[in-house]
Amino acid sequence: VVLSVIVDQVTKAAAREVLEQTSSVLVPGIINLVHVENTGAAFSFLEGGSAFFVVLAIVLITAITAFVWKTEDLPLYLVVPLGLVAGGGMGNMIDRVIDGSVTDFIATAFIAFPVFNVADMCVTVGVVLCFIAFLRWDAKNEAVSLDGQSHA
């Protein structure tokens, strides 16, 4: 969580400083850097809804923290992606509380896609990895519950 927030906030600060007046090509034809302030979510969904997203982030971060804290023998392959989701949510929440908007700066050049940031990547990758990890963890727990012994 902490590493996600630090990398997110440092890259956003750099983007605000360096990209304020210009955009830049990072990888020609693939990734551009451009400074955008977003008060909504992806594709400016619920634009102006910063307060809603702050409350949502608090609820999700609290739920993730409670789940990790209360679940015994939670495997690292599940804790790490949950940390990515919580850290990404916290990174964007910090922006919303301090600035009222989220700093986005990574733009795909090869496809029309919303401009995003490191926190968005953490949330997206974390959710995908959580889905895979929960399937594995659930299958392992089901195998154990069949006869009290591990079959995984």
Catalytic residues: 104, 120
93 and 54 Cβ atoms separated by less than 8 Å? yes
Return all residues near 132 (Cβ < 8 A) that are at least 6 apart.
Answer: none
Q: Which amino acid is at 20?
A: E
Cα 41 to Cα 114: distance, rounded to the nearest angstrom: 9
Phi, psi of 32 (to 5 degrees): -115, 160
Judge contact between 87 and 2, C-beta under 8 A.
yes
